[in-house]
Amino acid sequence: MSDVFGHLDRRRGIIDRRALSGRLDEIAAETSDVGQRRRAMVTLLKEALDAGRAEIERRLLDQPSAGRVAANATAFLVDQIVRLSHDFTTEHLYPAGNRSAGERITVIAVGGYGRGEMAPHSDVDIGFLTPFKQTSWTEQVIEAQLYTLWDLGLKVGHSSRSVDEMIRAAKDDLTVRTALVEARFIWGDRNLYDQAAARFDAEVVASNARSFVAEKLAERDERHKRMGDSRYVVEPNVKEGKGGLRDLHTLFWIGKFIHRVRTVPELVDAGLLTARELRQFSRAENFLLAVRCHLHILAGRAEDRLTFDFQREIAQRMQFAERPGKSAVERFMQLYFLHAKSVGDVTGTFLAHLDDQLAARGRRFLPTIRRRPGKLGGFVLDRGRLALPSDDFFQADPVRLLEIFALADRYGLEIHPQAMRQARHDAKLIDARGVRRIARANELFLDVLTSPRDPETVLRWMNEAGVFGRFVPDFGRVVAQMQFDMYHHYTVDEHTIRAIGLLSDIEQDRLKDDHPLSTAIMRQLQSRRVIYVAVLLHDIAKGRGGDHSVLGAELALRVCPRLGLSEAETETVSWLVRHHLLMSATAFKRDLADFKTILDFAQVVQSPERLRLLLVLTVVDIRAVGPGVWNSWKRQLLTELFDAAEEVLRLGHKQRGREVRIASKKDEARTLLQIGDKDFAKLAKRLPESYWIAEPVEVIAANLVHMQKAGDAPLHIAAVPDDDRGATLVMVLAADHPGLFYRIAGGIHLAGGNIIDARIHTTRDGLALDNFLVQDPLGRPFAEAGQIDRLTRAIEDALANRQKLLPKLEARALPRARAEAFRVAPNVFIDNKASNRFTVIEVNAQDRPALLNQLAYALFQSKVTVHSAHVATYGERAVDTFYVTDLIGDKIDSAARVKGLEKRLLEAAGNGEDAVAA
């Protein structure tokens, strides 16, 4: 019995090998037919395998966090199946009386199976070793045993080699070398296994240690890049992701190669881990193994990606409960990310210590940064890295826990792993010795936060050491906290640190091509400290229950004075945290052509400085949400809102005269088009004043070209890719009639398009001129000729064959979306105060294909005219806003009509389920 299974209780409750062996002997005695014997063996072993798996699953449900026990039990179960099938094959299927010296077989487990750690649907990786080239008998036995394992439904990875072939393969192939590092004897000839293991140590490990370490580190970096180079990705890969099981395995493999350790605890004896870090390693591994086992059971297959739909179920299986402000699944995932962080801490320290050991022999694996810093305040340099002169250095003055990071930032230094380890250990002194009340400590922290160099990197180090969360306890509460939705890609602490990094990049002109306005604004700000502290605190109250913006603003009033901000700076930071979602909500969910939208926004902002600060905060907040969230359309809307609000604030809540603005747009459009005054005037007089106010000049120019090409045609459709907006501008000139909007929206949906914005106009001669901004399912413009042709034809068909549109929409298959893991209660808010001319309807609902079309149809049924539509999506949640009037152009203010409209929209948004009317 391998020591790896020594801790398992009631092993015979999982599988009783002796009883099964006796039953197999009886089967052999009952018939001499090899085929019958084999079939009976497979039937018996399959029953035993299924019963064993059921028992392991039952035990896991009883102790849902006992991951190592479940993984070891599964490997133990497979061991017994392999042993029984091997004995039966060699004794009853292909018995050999006088075997030669070459007719010996050893069965070994490799990889995760070799470690004795298997999730329920893990591959069974085995190797068959023979002393020399295979004989016909060894070939028969190996082939028969493999077929048995396959017939049992096991996914078997296998190799068959002589000892010489094994050594050659291990020297040539990193994958083989890695698998054999964890080889474990299962059954067969023990002497042959010992001989092979000795040769592997002497001929492969001893001569390849350094190259193995370099290759495994390169492999790890590539794996992280492939899986998402952050341990805080909200749908992590439990096995391959950063902070996952494979990172722990890599430590063990390297330790085995360099120090010939056989068990993880021996890494402490080798000086690569402390006893505390060993406990971290063991706790993290146990938790991750438990998650992986639950994941396999729920998926019914080998599955290592912890997707949203599994997160909720595993949280329930592992008995996490809801707490105020945090759901059970968010508490489960916070613990997951804390363990992933722990893996990162252990990995970083391990590799740096290993690097030191190898450096003493003349080679390093981690880059060395050599500087010539000035005063180090008692800290010392160890090969270019900040180090401690003694282990009690932080004890003597706990402010040094902040100073070490400030020095690292100031001089561009790495921090020695032993210093990071000691900081992690001594971070508790921040509480015990009242460090937060010491002015010098707060100055040092603010220096790092507002550094003109690389605050993101140093703050991340500070977070990994646990110093950040101790010094700013409210930040400590959001460390590793995920938000259970599809919009936020990272945990709250990682999102915040990334946002600070983006702010620094903007200030240092590193993003001026993407953010020219924000880059220019950063140079105009009266206080850099305000914007950096506001970014730090904007999400700090998440997970407490209640509105995190309101709670965060209150926290800011407490934290800012401690950090040394003035009363005016504190008030501004608090205001920014309170309103950090205002600008995006206004830009993405309201009609910016409606002057009251701008006035209402400016009334809240009140000053040009606040407006500048709010824009920069909004930009870095959105960009730090995750890849692909920021786009040119959002930049366009935010810029448009900023410019309009800046004008209002500058002119004292006034706008340039309506006639002046229209004349200016006409002049710009005429210049863009380069057509004669007479032709331009003929086109321009067809458009009402409201049109010239609502549309930007580029769209006006495109519309005029469209109208010119249409001539007297009753229907004209054109689509033009608009790279500045990251979408395709679809223009429809048609006879106006009720239902036009929903039919066009339906045609766009059938062509695979998503509408992100729509404006509906009526020309003076009674035609509808509708502008839609459309993206493909990946959020890109329709740019290819074939795509544009499909789009225009679909709209034309929808308008010409009205009776067929609804059946087509209903028949179109909807893809299974990740959003199905979530439930968003539909909500309808009807507002008659947001606009002077229109009733504003905001619908919140679970995002799905054709949602906008279904809402548009509900509006059509309600005899409502849509003047503009604005679509924003936040992961699984869609927010569709409509500016509407009744059929004669008045607001919808009758209580009965409002109630009926709410009812119809709620049914369209969520089929009446969990609907809320506001």
DSSP states of 10-52 = -HHHH--HHHHHHHHHHHHHH---HHHHHHHHHHHHHHHHHHH
Asked whether 609 and 646 are in contact (CB, 8 A), the reply is no
Q: What is the pLDDT of residue 848?
A: 83
List strands edge to edge, sheet with 380-382: 380-382, 385-387, 414-415
Give the chain's domain count.
Answer: 4
Query: Which domain-ending residue is among 634, 650, 666?
Result: 650
Residue 808 has pLDDT above 80, yes or no: no
Is residue 608 a part of any domain in this protein? yes
- More confident site: 304 or 366: 304
Is residue 16 a part of any domain in this protein? yes
Identify the H or E element spanning 761. Answer: strand 754-762
- Report the C-alpha gap between 365 and 349 in whole angstroms: 13
- Picking from 34, 273, 308, 26, the residue whose alpha carbon sits closest to that of residue 147 is 34
Is residue 672 a part of any domain in this protein? no
- Report the C-alpha gap between 92 and 24 in whole angstroms: 9
The Cα-based distances of 531 to 38, 451, 465, 535, 536 in angstroms read 74, 12, 25, 6, 9
Is residue 401 a part of any domain in this protein? no
Confidence band of 657 (pLDDT split at 50, 70, 90): low
Mind listing the pLDDT tens digit for each residue in 327-338? 999 999 999 999
Statement to judge: residues 220 and 181 lie in one domain: no
Residue 362 has pLDDT above 80, yes or no: no
Beta strands 839-846 and 106-109 are: unpaired
Q: What is the pLDDT of residue 82?
A: 98
Q: What is the pLDDT of residue 674?
A: 86
Statement to judge: residues 24 and 110 lie in one domain: yes
Where on the phi/psi map is residue 122: left (φ > 0), alpha (ψ -120 to 50), or beta? Answer: beta
| Domain at 111, CATH number | 3.30.460.10
- Report the C-alpha gap between 119 and 99 in whole angstroms: 37
Beta-ladder partners of 499: none
Statement to judge: residues 729 and 870 lie in one domain: yes
Statement to judge: residues 56 and 183 lie in one domain: yes
Statement to judge: residues 536 and 626 lie in one domain: yes
Residue 913 has pLDDT above 50, yes or no: no
Is residue 412 a part of any domain in this protein? no
The token duo for 458 is 């140093």
Residue 410 has pLDDT above 70, yes or no: yes
Over residues 729-746, mean pLDDT: 91
Beta-ladder partners of 732: 717, 770
- Picking from 839, 842, 856, the residue whose alpha carbon sits closest to that of residue 893 is 839
- Report the C-alpha gap between 571 and 370 in whole angstroms: 42
Grouping H, G, I as helix, E, B as strand and the rest as coil, residue 332 is: helix
Confidence band of 918 (pLDDT split at 50, 70, 90): very low
Asked whether 883 and 840 are in contact (CB, 8 A), the reply is yes
Identify the H or E element spanning 659. Answer: helix 658-673
Residue 770 φ/ψ, nearest 5 degrees? -110, 135
Statement to judge: residues 182 and 219 lie in one domain: no
Over residues 58-65, mean pLDDT: 98
Is residue 691 a part of any domain in this protein? no
Helix axes 17-30, 67-88, angle to 10 degrees: 20
Statement to judge: residues 178 and 219 lie in one domain: no
Beta-ladder partners of 760: 770
Confidence band of 280 (pLDDT split at 50, 70, 90): very high
Statement to judge: residues 242 and 163 lie in one domain: no
Query: Which domain-ending residue is among 607, 623, 650?
Result: 650
Sole residue written with tokens 């001499």: 32
| Domain at 253, CATH number | 1.20.120.330
Query: Which domain-ending residue is among 337, 359, 381?
Result: 359
Q: What is the pLDDT of residue 357?
A: 67
- Picking from 691, 703, 708, 696, the residue whose alpha carbon sits closest to that of residue 732 is 703
- Report the C-alpha gap between 306 and 238 in whole angstroms: 7
Q: Give the angle subtended at the CA of 434 by the CAs of 429 and 437, to the nearest 5°.
A: 135
Is residue 460 a part of any domain in this protein? no
Confidence band of 509 (pLDDT split at 50, 70, 90): very high
- More confident site: 209 or 595: 595
Could you tell me the residue range of the domain that residue 878 belongs to?
Answer: 701-917
Asked whether 228 and 240 are in contact (CB, 8 A), the reply is no
Statement to judge: residues 493 and 611 lie in one domain: yes
Residue 916 has pLDDT above 60, yes or no: no
| Domain at 546, CATH number | 1.10.3210
Statement to judge: residues 740 and 774 lie in one domain: yes
Over residues 218-229, mean pLDDT: 74
- Report the C-alpha gap between 537 and 219 in whole angstroms: 37
Q: Return contacts of 689-694, CB within 8 angstroms, 24+ apart.
A: 689/658, 689/662, 690/761, 691/761, 691/769, 692/661, 692/662, 692/665, 692/666, 693/593, 693/595, 693/658, 693/661, 693/662, 694/591, 694/593, 694/759, 694/761, 694/868
Over residues 151-161, mean pLDDT: 96
- Report the C-alpha gap between 710 and 704 in whole angstroms: 10
Within 10 A of 378 (CB to CB), how many other CB atoms are there? 13
Statement to judge: residues 849 and 729 lie in one domain: yes
Is residue 817 a part of any domain in this protein? yes
- Report the C-alpha gap between 76 and 186 in whole angstroms: 10
Statement to judge: residues 218 and 177 lie in one domain: no
The token duo for 246 is 């494979």
